[in-house]
Structure 1
Amino acid sequence: MRIGTHNVNGIRAALRRGFRDYWDRTGADVIALQEVRCRVGDLPLEAFAGYHVTLDAGELAGRNGVAVLTREKPAHVRALSESATTVAPDGEPEEVDAERIISRDLATFAGEGRYVEVDLADAPLRVASLYLPKGSAWPYAEDGEEKYQRKMRFMRGLARVLTASRREAAAQGREFLVMGDFNVAHTRQDLKAWRTNQRSEGFLPEEREWFGTLLSPRSLVDVVRRLHPDANGPYSWWSWRGQSWTTDAGWRIDYHLASPGLAGRATRAWVGREETYEGRISDHSPVLVDYSL
């Protein structure tokens, strides 16, 4: 089973830049999307042909939005909000009741379209798509305390949600996989310019420490790092500005975190870095893993 994640930075712009052509070539069975950034009524349905779409678009026009694309209609949907949108292959968007994820820390984020889960109908697997807030480098950025505290609160709540969902999935005989844009580079291997970014959001010591608490041989495994233990990167995000793309001065902030049983079945992992700057679909490149399921 081929599974991928992609922060598209706006699905309509990504479609114009070759989103559909790329994913048609990969033949992915499951795709997690972040920053869909589109109202339900404006979705370019041609981007999703052949897939069942489960989307939490959020309430903020032109911002955020997460989705999971699957070959079969999901058996169950969970989200921070009480409803989600589904689109059948070649169908129209339809609002469905979703099981609401209860979290005191995440309650204020319920309308932002940042997290959605589906239970696959054709495999014993629960899949989540995540878009974690970017945050701020406070106290180094003096006016960023509110954004910093929001990110800390989200991370605190998310850790509890991931633990509970993973355990619930296991009780049902399912593996668990959360993918998406975590907006954190975990180690020095995950950021080329780590020396000059130690006071930057996404590489703060407390962010990196939090990320480490998610990982263990009995909880969640960083699948790409497991398969590429000694590599710098592979990076998944490069700024549109400057020469970061040309010099490969990137960040690895897009992850597959899997329950140990699923991680052990991962056979190949790679970043779909486009061949040219002009051919980029987004400022993030897709991250794909083949799992032997």
Structure 2
Amino acid sequence: MKVISLNVNGIKQAAERGFFDWMVRQNPDVVCLQDIQVDERSLNDSVFFPPGFNTYFFDSMEDPNTAGVAIYCKGMPKAIMTGMGFPECDFEGRYIQADFENVSIGSFLTPHGSNHETTLQEHKYRFMEGLKNHLIKTRRKRREFIFCGTANVARSPIDVSSWFVNQRNSGFLPEERKWINEIFNELEYIDAFRQVNKQDKQYTWWPDYERAWKLDEGGRLDYQITTPKLKHLIQGGSVYKGQRFADHAPLIMEYNID
């Protein structure tokens, strides 16, 4: 099973940059998108609904031009679930899940924080706490899961450029790194990409200007997080940098799952 996840920073912009043509050529089984920034009803062009894919969206109820997530999949899901049961997620369109025969795959979007706006950082922390509680509940279920999306947190020094300076910035604050490492340590979830790739500078996000992209100054803010039993079914992973569809890059993972 090939699973691709990407924060598109606006699905219409990504389409204009050729994302869907690229996606179809990749022949994935499941594609999880974040930050689609659109009301599904406004997607009238067939480019957003490529043949052979079942398509599901979860828009923000507060402002459809912000946040939002989507799942594209070759196989027909047994069920689609939206939300995680807390306001910062459910009202803002930050989680959608497709249940298949052998695995459930979700697309999640953590809010941006801020070094200057306390309310934005507090909003991010509330979402992070809600997501962690959801992951705790998920560990009690008799199903396997892959959670794909933007955590907006770099896990360790090898996951962010200028790590020492960035310890003072949202996205690499000590509290944020503690949270994400609790997910992988105490809760025993698997960082799928790091399971197969230990190299540094494997970034998935760069500031939206050419200098950072050219110098490769960014952070690994996007993840595929699996339940422990899937650990040995992870076959490969890569960050695609051949084209820029957004300020994030596609994360491509291969699993030995039918």
Which of the five TM-score ranges fits, normalised by the shorter chain? over 0.9
TM-score between both structures, scaled by the size of structure 1:
0.83
Among 128, 148, 158, the residue aligned to 2:106: 128
Partner of 2:27: 27
Partner of 2:47: 46
Partner of 1:208: 177
Verify the 8 A CA contact 1:192 1:232 in the aligned structure 2: no
SS at match of 2:20: helix
CA distance in 1, matches of 2:177, 2:167: 10
Among 193, 207, 210, the residue aligned to 1:224: 193
Q: How far 1:108 sits from its partner (Å)?
A: 4.3
Please say if 1:65 is aligned against 2:33: no
Verify the 8 A CA contact 1:218 1:259 in the aligned structure 2: no
CA distance in 2, matches of 1:40, 1:193: 38
Among 212, 218, 221, the residue aligned to 1:250: 218
CA distance in 2, matches of 1:74, 1:266: 21
Higher helix share: 2
SS at match of 2:106: strand
Partner of 1:273: 241
Verify the 8 A CA contact 1:218 1:260 in the aligned structure 2: no
Deviates more, 1:207-216 or 1:107-116: 107-116
Partner of 2:202: 234
Q: Which runs of 5+ in 1 are unaligned?
A: 81-100
Verify the 8 A CA contact 1:166 1:176 in the aligned structure 2: no
Q: How far 1:233 sits from its partner (Å)?
A: 3.2
Q: How big is each residue's C-alpha offset from its partner over 1:25-72, in whole Å with a ceiling of 9 and x where there is no partner?
A: 211100100011111111144223121112111121311110111112
CA distance in 1, matches of 2:64, 2:144: 34
1:64 and 1:218, CA in 2 relative to 1: closer, same or farther beyond 3 A? closer
CA distance in 2, matches of 1:217, 1:145: 28
Please say if 1:286 is aligned against 2:250: yes
Verify the 8 A CA contact 2:29 2:75 in the aligned structure 1: no
Verify the 8 A CA contact 2:89 2:95 in the aligned structure 1: no
Q: How far 1:218 sits from its partner (Å)?
A: 6.4
Q: How far 1:239 sits from its partner (Å)?
A: 1.3
CA distance in 2, matches of 1:202, 1:217: 21
Q: How big is each residue's C-alpha offset from its partner over 1:211-259, in whole Å with a ceiling of 9 and x where there is no partner?
A: 0110138631001111112x11311111122511001111100101111
SS at match of 2:72: strand
Q: How far 1:24 sits from its partner (Å)?
A: 1.6
Among 118, 127, 133, the residue aligned to 1:160: 133
Partner of 2:121: 148
Q: Which runs of 5+ in 2 are unaligned?
A: none
SS at match of 2:140: helix
Q: How big is each residue's C-alpha offset from its partner over 1:108-167, in whole Å with a ceiling of 9 and x where there is no partner?
A: 4422111111102xx400111011011122xxx3xx111111111111111011221343
Structure 1 vs Structure 2: percent identity of aligned residues?
31
The Cα RMSD (Å) is: 1.6
Q: How many residues align?
A: 254
1:189 and 1:108, CA in 2 relative to 1: closer, same or farther beyond 3 A? closer
CA distance in 2, matches of 1:166, 1:6: 25
Give the number of the structure whose alpha-carbon radius of gyration is greater. Answer: 1
SS at match of 1:128: strand
TM-score between both structures, scaled by the size of structure 2:
0.93
Partner of 2:9: 9
Partner amino acid, structure 2, of 1:203: F
